[in-house]
Amino acid sequence: MNNKNGFVAQVNACVERAASLMSFVPGILSQIRHCDCIYQVTFPTRRDDGSVEVVHGWRAEHSHHRLPTKGGLRYSMMVDADEVMALAALMTYKCAIVDVPFGGAKGGLKIAAYKYSADELERITRRFTFELVRKNLIGPGVDVPAPDYGTGPREMAWILDTYNTLHSGELEALACVTGKPVTQGGIRGRTEATGRGVYLGIREFCDDIELLKQAGLSPGVSGKRMVVQGLGNVGSHTARFCQEAGAVIVGIAEYDAAIVSPDGIDVEAAHAYFRANETLSGFPGAETITDSAACLELDCDFLIPAALEAQIHADNAARINAKVVVEAANGPVTTEAEDILRSRGITLLPDVFMNAGGVVVSYFEWIKNISHVRFGRLGRRLEQQTQTRLLRAMRQGGGHFTDEEIARLSVGGDEAALVSSGLEDTMITAYGEIREQQRQYDVDLRTAAYITALAKIHRAYSELGIFP
C-alpha cells in the first residue's frame, strides 16, 4: 500500500466510519485517532561472519488513556513507522473491546528473522531492549511488549533478562514483557491464546442464528469448510481448534505454496510437515498450488487470513468465494476490499475483536507477574474438596456415583483451565456487546466493534477531566 492508502489511513477510515454515528466531547476524537508517541532507533549489530549490519526499529505508544501500554514486537521486512503506528492503534481499540485495561502499543524491527542465527537474533533483541530502556519505553507500568510475527517466547525471555540486568532488584520486573516461557514467569495457555480466541469468535458467530441466516449457513462449526492462510502460531492453532470442533480444513496457504483437499487436511500433520520441510509443497494427500495467493479464492464457508495485512484488497476482493471472512491477522482486509465484500453479501468478522485472545491472556500473565501468585494455586484444592463433598452427599441421597467418577468429576481449576475459561468468558461477553451495537446502529460487525471501542475510550478520556 502506498502512503495515501497506508495502514494508518486504513485504521482511521474504520474509526471515522464508526465515529460519524456517535457524538464526542470536542477534542477527544482527535486525541483518540492520533498516536501519542513513536520512537525510531537505528543501531549496528555484528553478524556471525564478522560483518556489521545496521538495524532499524520502532516502538509506538498509541494511547496513554490506560497504562501500561501493551503490544507485540514483530520482526519483518514489512515493518515501518506506518505499520507500527497502525498496529498500536488496533491494540488500543482491541483492548477496549475486551475490557483489558491497557493502552495500545506496538514495536518492530525491520529484519527477516529466518536469515539470522539464534546468536545474532539474541544480540539484536538485547540491543533493542537496551534502547527501549534508555527511552523509558518498557516497564511493568509503562509499556509491556509481547510476541508477534517473527518473535516468540525465546525473544521475550531475552527481553526479560536484559531488563532485569538493567533494573536489578525490581520486584515486578517479570511483568515487563508477556508471552514468556512458563519457566520464566509465563502463563499456561498463552501460546495458543490468539488462535483459541479466533476459534471462540467463530463459534459465537456459528451460534448466532440471525447472522448465520444472512450468510446462508447452518448453525454450528461442525461441517463448515474452511481455508486458512498462514500456518504460524495464530493460523495453526485456529485451524486445529476448528478442526477439533468438526470443521473441514479444505485449504492451507503459506508464503510459497498452498495445499488443497476437498476431503479435508490433517492440520497437525500439515504443521509437522511444514516445520520439517519449511514448505507445504508436496504434502501427501493434498494438491499443491504454487500460487499461494490463489488459495484465498477457493470456494469455502470460512476464509481465515492469518498472516499479514492487506492480503485481501481491491484487486482480488471480487474473486473471494467465501461466505464469511475471518480476520485472524491484523488488517488482512483493506477498507476498499471490505466494501466490495459487503456489496457481495460476504460477512466479515473483524480483527479488532477476533484476534484479541492474545492480549487477553497477556493481561492474565501480567496480573500473575504483578501478584506473584499462580492462577489456581490458592483455590484449586478447596474447589476440589467442595465438589467431592457435594458428590458424596448426592450419592448418600441416592445418586449413583462410583469413587472413580467422583475423583474424575472433582477437579479444581488449574492455571491452564482458568486461563481458558477466562478467555472464553471475555470473548463471549465482547461478542454480545458488539452485536448490541450492531443492532442499535444497523451497521456491519467491524463498525459495531469500533463503536464499542470508541465509546469505552471516550468515556475513559472524559473521566480524566482534561477536556472541556
Q: If 0-12 CB within 10 Å is exposed, 13-18 middle and 19+ buried, where does residue 103 land?
A: buried
C-alpha cell belonging to residue 65: 488513556
What Å distances lie between residue 424 and 95, 235, 289, 304, 421, CA to CA? Answer: 15, 18, 36, 20, 5
3-state secondary structure of 449: helix
Contact 359, 97 (CB under 8 A): no
Write the CB contacts of 280 (distance below 8 Å, at least 6 apart in sequence): 231, 252, 253, 254, 256, 257, 258, 259, 270, 273, 274, 288
Q: Which of 53, 115, 107 is nearest to 80 (CA)?
A: 107
Q: Which of 432, 468, 461 is nearest to 211 (CA)?
A: 432
How far apart, in whole angstroms, are the C-alpha atoms of residue 441 and residue 13? 18
- Cite the active site residues: 106
Q: Which of 178, 43, 45 is nearest to 116 (CA)?
A: 45
3-state secondary structure of 187: coil
C-alpha cell belonging to residue 125: 533483541
How far apart, in whole angstroms, are the C-alpha atoms of residue 97 and residue 227? 27
